[in-house]
Structure 1
Amino acid sequence: MSYRIAEVAELVGVPATTLRYYEDIGLVGQPARGSNGYRSYEDADLARLRFITATKNLGIPLADVAELVKAYDVEDCSTVAHHVVEMVAVRLAETQSRIGELVALAAQLQTVSGRLAAAATSGPCGDGCPCATAASEPLADRRTFVPLTRAPVVAAPDVPVIACSLDAGAVPDRISDWQALVARAVSREPITGGVALQFVASPELVAEVARLAAAEQECCTFFTFTLTMTTEQVRLEIQAPANAADVVAAMFGTAA
C-alpha cells in the first residue's frame, strides 16, 4: 500500500516537516515519487519511520538513532532490541543522575525558603539581610533558574509535603545506594500508590533494605515503606501520594 507524506505524518505522529528533515540529514532514504511528483511511501517505509519515532521518543540522540536504523535494516529483532536496551540504559543513568541533582536542588531551595521566611517585616533590605544571604553560591543545578518568592510554600492541612530534607551533598550517594539495591530485585509488582520489590532473602540484604528504608523515611516523610520477611524472600513495598508517583518511578522503577 502507498501513502502520501501527510498520511504518513498522521500515522507516525510527527509533522511532515520532520519527515523531510529526516530525509535531508540522511536518516531515511528519499522515498519514491509518483507520476504527480508527490512522495510515495510504502509499508516498509512506514514501519521504519515508526521505529525511528519510537526510539527518538525515548530521548535517544539522532546520531544514535541513525546507528539503530542501520541495525534495523540488517539485524534480527532481538539484536536490535539489545542495542536499544543499551542506549536506554545510558539514558536511564543520565536521568537518575539528574534526579539526584534536582533532589539536591529541592533541598537547597527549602533552606532558602526558610531563610527568606525569616526576613524582617519592616525596614529596607541591606547587608546581611536574608534576601542577600539566602544563597551565597550557585545552587546545585546551575542550568536551572528558579524565581524566589517572599513567602514559603504552605502545605494544605493533612496533605504530605513532597520534599526531601537530606543534605544536598549526601543525595548522590543515597541515589546510588537505592539503585544498587533495586537492581537486586528478582521481581516487582504494582500496588496501590506505589510498587513492591521482591528479593531473595539473606541477612546482609535484610539489613541493607531496613537501613535504606529507615534513612529514606527520615528525610522523605511522604514515603511509606513496608518490609515483609520470610525464610526465602524479602518483600519491600514503597508507597507515596499520587503527586509523588514520578518520584517513586524514578527511584524504584515501575512494575511491568
Structure 2
Amino acid sequence: MTTYRISQLAERAGVRPTTLRFYEQAGLLPAQRSESGYRLYGDDAIERLGFITSGKRLGLPLEEIRDLLQVWEDGLCTDVRHRLRPMLATRIAEAEQRATELDAFTERLRQALTEIDGPPRPGRCDPGCGFLHHQHDPQPTPIKLSPPRPTTDNTGDNGTTPAPIACTLNGSDQAERAQQWHELLDHAQRRDPIDGGLRFHLPAHTAGEVAALAAAEQQCCAFFTFTLHLSAGELQFDVHAPDDAAPLLADLFGTPN
C-alpha cells in the first residue's frame, strides 16, 4: 500500500497541509505516525478526502460530514443515502428560503430603480420621491443570506436595523474559517489598527483569494464590512466590525502588530 506524508497528500489532493491537520483534529481524517512522528496516510485517505469535499460542496457542516463518514465506512451505499436524504432536504429548504429573500430584495431594487428613473422632484429628496419610505411605512425586512438566528434588538438611532452580531457557521466550520483567515493573513507585511477594525497590507497577488474569502465571510457574518484597495503592487485590506463584535474580530483576524 502506498503511504503519503502530509505534504505529499496535500499536493495530490490539492489542499493545504493545514487543512489536513484541521480535518484530523475534527475527526474527519485519521493519520498514522511514523517512528519519527510524521503523519502518514494511505490510499484510502484520497478517497476519504473526496468524500469530505463532496459533502462540503453540498453545504454540509463538518459534524454532518463526520456522521456520514462513519456510515460510509461501516455501512452500505443504501445506508449512506438514507442518512444523507434528510440533510439534503434541510439544505434545500434553506436554499429555497434564501432564494425567496433574494427575489424579494431584487424586486425592491427594481422598484427603487423605476422610481429614480422618473422625473426628479424639485428641491431636496423627501418621501415623495418614491424610493424613500414614509415614516408610517413598515421597515423592510433586511435581506438575510443564511438562516435567521435569535438576536437582541439592536436597532440604531436612525431607525435602521444593523446586521445581527451572529454567525451562521457551526463550531467546526467557524474554526476552519478562522484557520483560512490566519493562513491568508500570515502574508500580511503589516497590520494596523483603524477606527472600528484592522488594516492589512498584503502582496497584490493575494487579492483574488482575499476577495473570495471576504465574500464567503459576508454570507455567514454580515456584520463585518470589507474594503480592498489595490495599488502599486500592494493590497490594502480593511476589516470593520461593530464594537460588540470586537472579540470575533480578534478571533478571526488577530490583533495589530
What TM-score comes out, normalization by structure 2 length? 0.49
What TM-score comes out, normalization by structure 1 length? 0.49
